[in-house]
Amino acid sequence: MLNLIKDDDKHEFLYTNEDFEKVRGILNKLTGINLADSKDAMVYSRLVRRVRALKLSSIAEYLKYVAANAHEEQNFINALTTNLTSFFREEHHFKVLKDYLNDTPGVKRIWCAASSTGEEPYSIAISVVEALGRFDTNIEIIASDIDSNVLETAKQGVYHESRIQSLNLSMKKQFFHRGTGSNKGFVRVVPELRRMVKFRQINLLDSKWPIDLPVNVIFCRNVMIYFNREMQEALLTRMVRLLPKDGLYVAGHSENFSYFSHIVSAVGKTTYKPA
Ligand SMILES: C[S@@+](CC[C@H](N)C(=O)[O-])C[C@H]1O[C@@H](n2cnc3c(N)ncnc32)[C@H](O)[C@@H]1O
């Protein structure tokens, strides 16, 4: 007998607890993400678009399709990642970055390791410009994510005006162009700033990351929370190996690495240096 998810009457396509468990397993294997039990409705609402687009008849059929068509894995991942972000999210980190840049000569590279739709790496680029007083610096900013859709959005650097509402007027004027005509209501990051950021698709689970050394600063915020503790420890170890002794690691607000004092030491609120 099929084990139906409780509110299945509401579902246009058949969706069972077994499907949910399978989705969790596949997603975890591909990305390291652990979905909580409470995410069953979210999974349905996100996968249903693919089921419709492919004219399939159930979530189970879609999962068979994913298994048989390797190219669908990317759509599966894109559908299930959570990409919430904003310009200057956790603003205090950008002040820490500016201070770090002012106090540390010779910074070569900053890696933003789960950059989503680009607001975070562009906030990093703005902070670099503000700290060094110019766009053409020798600092390379690498922004990466596993999700190919968000990387496309990030490269375009086009956002709804409301996304920059909280920025001060001079920042808006210096770093964004307002759209006109059919682009009214949107802003675009100025080309000088776009050129400072190189976008790359990187799955943090991959055994090799295509990033040159040295990496002086790593922003890896609000992605470790999706991984289990063992994986967090393994990733943190690998990332910290990229940093010099005086490097800076910036974590998200709910990522507390006090368990990992053998890897990092806190230098401020959710900011760390190699231990
Ligand atoms: C909640 S967003 C955080 C965005 C940004 N760092 C911030 O704090 O505003 C999490 C991002 O991590 C990405 N992600 C999830 N698993 C990943 C993995 N295994 N490798 C790389 N990126 C991953 C998702 O695609 C998503 O864009």
> Which residue is catalytic, options 19, 40, 145, 147?
145
User: Residue 87: what residue type?
Assistant: F
Q: What does DSSP say about strands 109-112 and 217-220: parallel, antiparallel, or unpaired? A: parallel
Closest ligand 1 atom, CA of 145?
A: 22
Instruction: For CATH 1.10.155.10, list the domain ranges present in the chain.
Output: 8-80
CB distance 205 to ligand 1 below 6 Å: yes
Q: Is the CB of 223 under 6 A from ligand 1?
A: yes
Contact call for residues 16 and 4 (beta carbons, < 8 A) = yes
CA pair distance 61, 236, nearest whole angstrom: 37
Check pocket membership of 118 for ligand 1, CB cut-off 6 A: no
Question: Which residue spans within 92-139 are E strands per DSSP?
Answer: 109-112
Residues of the chain with CATH 3.40.50.150: 92-274
CATH architecture label of 92-274:
3-Layer(aba) Sandwich (3.40)
Mean pLDDT over the full length of the chain: 96
Confidence of residue 256 (pLDDT cuts 50, 70, 90): confident
Q: Given a cut of 50, is residue 6 above it in pLDDT?
A: no
Question: So what's the pLDDT on residue 9?
Answer: 58
CATH topology classification for 8-80: Chemotaxis Receptor Methyltransferase Cher; domain 1 (1.10.155)
Strand 264-268 and strand 186-189: pairing? unpaired
pLDDT tens for 77-99 read 999 999 999 999 999 999 999 99
pTM above 0.85, yes or no: yes
Q: For 192-216, write each residue's pLDDT tens digit.
A: 999 999 999 999 999 999 999 999 9
Q: Is the pLDDT of residue 10 over 80?
A: no
